[in-house]
Amino acid sequence: MSQIKHSGEVVRIERDVVYVKMTVNSACSGCHAKAVCGVGESEDKIVEVETLQASNFNIGESVEVALQSESMGTKAVVLTYVVPFFILALLLVLVGAFGHSEAMAALMALGGVVVYYFVLYLLRHRIKNRIKFIIIKQTK
């Protein structure tokens, strides 16, 4: 199984969740998956990692966080970028084809994308359960 890994530091622990602040390094700019994880976009990123071994970690400890599979990252990109693009384009063409003005077509297409993102927001817990991160203790 292929893994995308990033170093980080444990900043908080709650029950079965370890919160890790990601360490952004220059290697992110060359990473083929930087659009998926979003770490390359900001200096600080806190990731929630659900694990039954949360009690084995300590605040301030250096760890690695890995996305279990590249296919999960691909699914995330498709859901957040590809599907909305097709909704936008399809509605733009269909509304325009029915004789409505360009402004109406643009508003309807944008409205369709807003509705899509709202539905995606409502389903966030189901999606969160499909995209899994794992936490790995770093050895010195």
Main-chain phi, psi angles of 60, to 5 degrees? 90, -5
Residue by residue, DSSP assigns 58-105 as -TT-EEEEEES-HHHHHHHHIIIIIHHHHHHHHHHHHHHHTT--HHHH
Shared domain check, 61 and 11: yes
**The total number of structural domains that make up the chain:** 2
What the block records as the tokens of 70 is 């590249």
Shared domain check, 65 and 82: no
Band of pLDDT at residue 1, cut at 50, 70 and 90: very low
DSSP-assigned letter for residue 28: G
| pLDDT tens per residue across span 18-46 | 999 986 655 555 565 555 555 555 567 88
Shared domain check, 61 and 89: no
Q: In this structure, are residues 17 and 50 in contact, taking their beta carbons and an 8 Å threshold? A: yes
- Top pLDDT among 127 and 54 is at 54
Shared domain check, 77 and 39: no
Hey, is 127 helix, strand or coil?
Answer: helix
Shared domain check, 27 and 50: yes
Shared domain check, 61 and 10: yes
CATH number at residue 51: 2.40.50
Shared domain check, 86 and 61: no
Shared domain check, 64 and 87: no
Instruction: Please report the pLDDT score of residue 70 as a whole number.
Output: 61
Band of pLDDT at residue 133, cut at 50, 70 and 90: confident
What the block records as the tokens of 82 is 């590809």
| pLDDT tens per residue across span 55-72 | 999 999 999 888 766 667
Shared domain check, 55 and 13: yes
Which residue range(s) make up the domain with 98?
A: 72-124
Shared domain check, 51 and 101: no
